[in-house]
Structure 1
Amino acid sequence: MRGTVLVARMDNLGDVLLAGPCVRAVAAGAERVILLTGPRGRAAGDLLPGVDEVLTWCAPWIDPEPPPVTQEDVDGLVRRLRGLSLDAALVLTSFHQSPLPLALVLRMAGVPWIGAISEDYPGSLLDLRHHVPGDPPEAVRMLSLARKAGFSLPSGDNGGLAIRRPLPPVDGLPGPGPLDEGYVVVHPAASVPARQPSAARSAAIVKALQAAGYRVVVTGSPSETELTREVAGDALDLGGRTGLSELAAVLAGAKVVVAPNTGTAHLAAAVGTPVVSLFAPVVPASRWAPYGVPAALLGDQHAACRDSRARICPVPGHPCLDLVPPEDVVEAVGHLSRGSSRRRGPR
């Protein structure tokens, strides 16, 4: 299949990063790849190798704070898509999301061939209705759709996560300094509260790492500066001081990244840095744990919240993460920093 192919992944930064292997496979066989993202994933889309253009639209059936559905908004997307003269489209979704609303919009825009993973009967909305058995990692699941559609990764691409290189210099940031000095990044926040430890637990992890002799850098988005300030203590607080590409560069210079199930963990994987994953089991770790790099999974994977997809922890005290001993994090960081080989991009 050649021509112009649209790949859609409409949710968060981490989801878009995990779509990277699928995108690269499509790019290896298409003349042009257009990535359609939601506003929460746009910045990651700009970093993916193989993407020629990124479009953004907020899907009301996927975004956690959805806008009203209006004919004007949908008609506007249809016009934009029709103007692209698309030859095909792949709609990427998580297991609990439906590709069919977007497939309908794509049909209205005249897209002649559409593929997606779908458990629901698609009628005439899909030309390829792909089924993925079991519980594979999300990156593998999405790549399987590209392969079913006739796209393959190029020779030498190992199917791991990746972002565009070179990364921007971060020597001007206060603290990281020369990247060969090494440090541990602690990223305390996640997109929903159920997936992140309490500020007190994250602060205890920072102190334990410092007591073990590690230099610690705390990272976060501009909306997370209050949290990073509380967590960092006297460690370096880069909360709100980096865009996504600068954050990637900081992660690339780290020995290990400590993070909950959030986009930053996947960004660390995309730059080849080992991850200590503080993973709340509200979604399956088999699908969403850091992919393609050495990782240590901490947190009670059999807690009462398991597979609930809860956004707010339903169990008092958030025990699946807040009972993780800081000493276990220090031990995992030591193991990963001593014993892992670093991977740098697809190979």
Structure 2
Amino acid sequence: MSAHLVIQLARFGDLIQTKRLVRGLQADPDHEVHLAVDTGLVPLATLLYPGVIVHGLPVHTSRAKPDSIVRACVTLVAALKAADITRVYNLNLSAYNHALAGLFAPEQVAGYQWNQGQLVRGLWPEMVFRLSVHRLTNPLNLMDYWGFFLDPPLVPNLVNPPATAKGGGLGVVLAGRHARRTLPVPIVARIIQATAARSTGRIHLLGTMAERGAARALRPLLPAAIQGRLNDLTGRTDWNGLAEVVQGLDLLLTPDTGTMHLAAHLGTPVMAFFLSSAWAFETGPYGEGHLIWQSVEPCAPCLEAAPCSRDAACATSFADKAVLSRLAQLAQLKGETLSSGPALPLPLENICLLDTHLDDFGQDLRPLAGELPERDARLAHRELLRSHGLRTAPRRVRLEQAAAKALYHETDWMIDMP
């Protein structure tokens, strides 16, 4: 039996956002699916993708010794050589990715090819990269970006189940990998108080050992009644334990994190808080039934690597009285989806409330409150991407000509000469 190889050597959230591609490949019974991931994510990949053959490389382990990396590479190369790999999906721009993809002929590789010492991008990734020039107009979720490496891609509503409350209380992710994308503990405390009525169960604090201090700082900021509901799980769950907790929640409160994507994978409702460099259209929770609070400060989304001249002022908007009032209203919607409440105005210029929605192309976000900047340009880009990916004629949208100039260059129409 021939096989497909997916090279996904990024981190927790990226592994889950590869799901549309991986599940689409699994739908073909005539091919095995192999997946190369960081060694630390092998147990999670096995949990996420039953039936996939998972290979590990110590990419993100700083303690890995050179000889152990060499042994892992030898083992992986031998395994791939034994399999009849006919197609490779190289998803990331990294030295490890290029080294693995370079084991195969360039014509076998989709995504990023390493051809005679040069990086070559296919038309689809090249078009999407052009959107990064102005991220506010980027409408494409990463799940859909990688999903369209496969032609045809998996139908969007087969990726994640619709979100439904499970009865196991609230989950609170205390921090993400990027510090500026994480809300300060006092603001997290106010959000918990506003949403505590959504469930009468426990409130599970989630994170690594690095968040144990945040969990301790959070407790005295909460009323005694809520303190009694806290279940501090920071640093106390492995991948299986984390999945077990998350899949039983009524709601997960979280910044842009891998745990957020795990919740969407399991059909657990997410209320996400996107600020700083996080842009909900790119990496928001995938599927029906999630809510996202998106900062729309004039400087958002920013570049994580650049210093912030405003001392992360975008975080303060999430503690505004209008936001907390809307959170409390949403928490009262017993037995209803989070997006089924009244569309009340949100009197803020720097924050927007969005809900998730799927169509034939993939994920889209609809504003429930607040104003999104660059709406027309983003819709035009999405329609062109949709028509390109689904091979349909583009529907009429405003600014279509400007969108086409951004996504297509004259060199795209050049004829390859023999």
TM superposition score category, shorter chain reference: 0.7 to 0.9
Letter in 1 for 2:215: T
Change (3 A) 1:83 1:44: closer
Letter in 1 for 2:16: L
Change (3 A) 1:89 1:38: same
2:77 aligns with 81
Letter in 2 for 1:190: G
1:329 aligns with 327
CA distance in 2, matches of 1:80, 1:287: 31
CA distance in 2, matches of 1:309, 1:52: 34
Cα deviations by residue, 1:126-182 (Å, 9 ceiling, x for unpaired): 8982424453111110010022xxx653xx8734247xxxxxxxxxxxxxxxx9545
CA distance in 2, matches of 1:202, 1:266: 20
Change (3 A) 1:270 1:16: same
Stretch moving more, 271-280 or 218-227 = 218-227
Aligned length: 310
Q: CA deviation at 1:251?
A: 2.2
1:229 aligns with one of 198, 216, 231: 216
Residues 279-290 of structure 1 aligned to structure 2 (within 5 Å): 279-290=274-285
Q: Secondary structure at the match of 1:282?
A: coil
2:124 aligns with one of 106, 127, 131: 131
CA distance in 2, matches of 1:278, 1:53: 34
CA distance in 2, matches of 1:317, 1:193: 12
1:45 aligns with 45
Residue 247 of structure 2 contacts residue 263 of structure 2 at CA under 8 Å; is this kept in 1? yes
Letter in 2 for 1:141: Y
2:189 aligns with 203
Q: CA deviation at 1:187?
A: 1.5
Q: CA deviation at 1:121?
A: 8.1
Letter in 1 for 2:15: V
Letter in 1 for 2:336: R
1:320 aligns with 314
Residues 4-23 of structure 1 aligned to structure 2 (within 5 Å): 4-23=3-22
1:92 aligns with 91
CA distance in 1, matches of 2:189, 2:42: 30
Change (3 A) 1:193 1:100: closer
Q: CA deviation at 1:188?
A: 1.8
Residues 112-261 of structure 1 aligned to structure 2 (within 5 Å): 114-118=108-112, 122-123=115-116, 129-132=122-125, 133=127, 135=138, 136-147=140-151, 152-153=153-154, 158-161=157-160, 181-210=167-196, 214-223=200-209, 224-232=211-219, 234=227, 235-237=229-231, 238-261=233-256
Residue 206 of structure 1 contacts residue 216 of structure 1 at CA under 8 Å; is this kept in 2? no
CA distance in 1, matches of 2:260, 2:166: 21
CA distance in 1, matches of 2:333, 2:99: 49
Q: CA deviation at 1:78?
A: 4.9
Q: Secondary structure at the match of 2:150?
A: helix
**Bigger share in helix:** 2
Residue 115 of structure 1 contacts residue 126 of structure 1 at CA under 8 Å; is this kept in 2? no
Letter in 1 for 2:36: L
1:26 aligns with 25
Say if 2:94 is the partner of 1:55: no
Change (3 A) 1:39 1:214: same
Change (3 A) 1:290 1:183: same
Residue 257 of structure 1 contacts residue 265 of structure 1 at CA under 8 Å; is this kept in 2? yes
Q: CA deviation at 1:16?
A: 0.4
2:301 aligns with 306
Change (3 A) 1:192 1:281: closer
1:103 aligns with 98
Gaps of 5+ in 2: 132-137, 340-418
CA distance in 2, matches of 1:323, 1:207: 16
Q: CA deviation at 1:241?
A: 3.1
Cα-Cα RMSD? 3.7
Letter in 1 for 2:328: V
Q: CA deviation at 1:106?
A: 3.5
**Bigger share in strand:** 2
Residue 6 of structure 2 contacts residue 91 of structure 2 at CA under 8 Å; is this kept in 1? yes
Letter in 2 for 1:288: T
Gaps of 5+ in 1: 163-178, 342-347
Cα deviations by residue, 1:29-85 (Å, 9 ceiling, x for unpaired): 2532221112454343122235432222244xxx5x867996984585155223322
CA distance in 1, matches of 2:334, 2:310: 31
Residue 100 of structure 1 contacts residue 125 of structure 1 at CA under 8 Å; is this kept in 2? no
1:268 aligns with 263
CA distance in 1, matches of 2:199, 2:37: 41
Q: Secondary structure at the match of 2:48?
A: coil
Change (3 A) 1:310 1:303: farther
